[in-house]
């Protein structure tokens, strides 16, 4: 079957179309992104502005047109932290449904962590053992841990790369004081999270990072992905530490020309690097395995798992 997934995130609207069936690895058929950077389109109350709403609608329409042109057996459309946390999120969802004729399913932070862990476990296999997962989005940073396909403990923190850029690194390039403030804030949040949620967990066998931000940092520091397996080199704490001063001195318009950094990530990759390195420091992680599979692949896998084998439509992904 051919399945489409539209993911409305804080930074992009991403359409992924795959060919998949139970018992097999999903095969990508088409992928496209539209840049949003919604954290720049929030008013003082955190509501998504008219301009931001129009960006979402235009991007979803473009994705829906592509789906209609290619043709899929089913389409899943989800939204994450930007719409989930906006005070006018329900209004925005209603407008999207009215203008685009598509209903978005809003995933909670726990949903994101669970579905992403499923994707990571399927990619790495059971031999990976106890996994500690870091997932950086535009608005939130998910952490999860467990030895099964779904985590035993997970939480979502407001430390996404886009959010922290807007809140702490608004100057481009930012002054050292702003970088220090972001690092101190992230350290406090991660320390509290570890002490309250993760201290009773066993030491992880593998620490894994997902998301476009982490994959971009992986390509920058470790080189391009293996052309056969799609795997990236491990991401080392020392590599992040060595690259951070260079990223800090560059404006976003220059960072986007670095290896592995796309134009929509250039402005926020520094914040992503700072937050990720701080998380690795607090959780005492020296090396991070970078998974090419993340939330969208997890949505596909969950959907396939829930098929009854007769071609019936699967239940909700969450």
Q: What is the pLDDT of residues 199-240, one digit of tens each?
A: 999 999 999 999 999 999 999 999 988 888 778 999 999 999
* CA dist 226 → 166, 229, 236, 280 (Å): 34, 6, 17, 24
pLDDT digits 0-9 by tens, 255-279: 999 999 988 889 999 999 999 999 9
- CATH 3.30.420.150: which residues of the chain? 109-296
Tokens of 267: 């402005």
User: What pLDDT is attached to residue 22?
Assistant: 86
Taking the C-alpha atoms of residue 198 and residue 181, their distance in angstroms, rounded to an integer, is 25
- CATH 3.30.420.40: which residues of the chain? 2-106
pLDDT over threshold 60, residue 309? no
pLDDT over threshold 60, residue 316? no
pLDDT mean across residues, the chain: 93
CATH class of this structure's domain 2-106: alpha beta
Superfamily of domain 109-296: Exopolyphosphatase. Domain 2 (3.30.420.150)
Residues with Cβ within 8 Å of 192's Cβ and at least 6 positions away in sequence, in order, are none
Question: pTM for this one?
Answer: 0.93
């Amino acid at each position: 079957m051919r399945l489409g997934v539209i993911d409305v995130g804080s930074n992009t609207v991403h359409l992924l179309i795959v060919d998949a069936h139970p018992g097999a690895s999903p095969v990508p058929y088409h992928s496209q992104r539209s840049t949003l950077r919604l954290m720049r389109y929030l008013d003082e109350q955190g509501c998504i502005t008219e301009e931001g709403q129009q960006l979402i609608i235009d991007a979803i329409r473009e994705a829906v047109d592509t789906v209609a042109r290619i043709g899929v057996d089913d389409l899943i459309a989800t939204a994450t932290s930007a719409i989930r946390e906006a005070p006018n999120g329900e209004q925005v969802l209603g407008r999207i449904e009215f203008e685009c004729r598509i209903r978005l399913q809003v995933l909670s932070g726990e949903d994101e962590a669970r579905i992403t862990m499923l994707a990571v476990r399927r990619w790495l296999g059971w031999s990976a053992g106890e996994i500690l997962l870091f997932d950086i989005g535009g608005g939130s940073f998910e952490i999860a841990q467990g030895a099964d396909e779904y985590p035993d403990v997970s939480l979502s923190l407001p430390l996404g790369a886009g959010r922290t850029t807007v809140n702490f690194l608004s100057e481009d390039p930012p002054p050292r004081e702003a970088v220090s403030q972001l690092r101190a804030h992230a350290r406090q949040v991660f320390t509290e999270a570890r002490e309250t949620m993760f201290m009773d967990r066993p030491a992880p066998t593998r620490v894994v990072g997902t998301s476009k931000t982490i994959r971009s940092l992986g390509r920058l520091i470790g080189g391009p992905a293996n052309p056969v397996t799609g795997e990236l080199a491990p991401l080392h704490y020392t590599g992040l530490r060595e690259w951070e001063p260079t990223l800090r001195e560059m404006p976003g318009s220059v960072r986007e020309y670095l290896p592995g950094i796309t134009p929509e990530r250039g402005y926020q990759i520094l914040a992503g690097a700072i937050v990720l390195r701080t998380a690795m420091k607090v959780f005492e992680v020296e090396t991070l395995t970078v998974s090419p599979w993340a939330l969208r692949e997890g949505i596909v896998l969950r959907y396939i798992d829930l098929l009854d084998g007769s071609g019936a439509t699967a239940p909700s992904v969450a």
